[in-house]
Amino acid sequence: MLHETDRRGSLDLADHAMVAMTIIVSLSGIMGVQQMFKSTFIGISFVVVAFFSSAAIAEDAVVADPEHYTVEFENDKVRIIRVKYGPGEKSVMHTHGPNTAVFLTSNAVRFTLPDGTSVETNSEAGVTQWSDKEEHLPENLSDEPLELVLVEQKE
């Protein structure tokens, strides 16, 4: 037996679908079915392209992962970043400008690259290293904290 209840102010999925169909049928009479579907397709395409374009661009390390990256100094020539990871901690995909790294602790790191491949590296405390502009997702593989200073050159 069906019982009617007071549903003012709440719409379930079926109600939303019915409202959408009513709007589509109404618009089809005004715009013509072909034009309406063409306009709808173009609008959805723009939303999809905008979503995937923004998702594909990795952010600057300090913006993407402020928990691990802190700006210590910045001027028009360089930006000096303190990088700290706890044991086993992992970042998110991010970018760096051309830089020199000074490792303050010994470490073992896995860098996952945008294409899905990964590279594992080991560095001793006191080692310095140059890198060109890069995009990666680092993970501290060590049971010890990882700390380094990154000096990014501004282009």
pLDDT tens string 57-94: 789 999 999 999 999 999 999 999 999 999 999 999 99
90: nearest Cα among 131, 141, 130: 141
pLDDT beneath 50: ranges in the chain = 1-11, 13, 16, 45-55
The domain tally of the chain equals: 2
Establish if 45 belongs to a structural domain. Answer: yes
Same domain for 64 and 119, yes or no, is yes
CA distance 39 to 82: 50
Q: Which phi and psi angles does 23 have, rounded to 5°?
A: -65, -45
CB atoms inside a 10 Å sphere around CB 68? 22
pLDDT for position 155: 74
Per the CB < 8 A criterion, the answer to whether 83 and 136 are in contact is no
Q: Spell out a b/e string for 111-122, using b for 16 or more CB atoms within 10 Å of the CB, else e.
A: bbeeeeeeeeee
Strand 69-74 with 78-85, pairing: antiparallel
Same domain for 113 and 48, yes or no, is no
pLDDT for position 37: 57
CA distance 23 to 134: 49
Range of the domain at 97: 59-153
Establish if 7 belongs to a structural domain. Answer: no
Token pair for 57: 């661009």
Establish if 6 belongs to a structural domain. Answer: no
Same domain for 73 and 33, yes or no, is no
- Furthest CA-CA distance within the chain: 78
Per the CB < 8 A criterion, the answer to whether 88 and 140 are in contact is yes
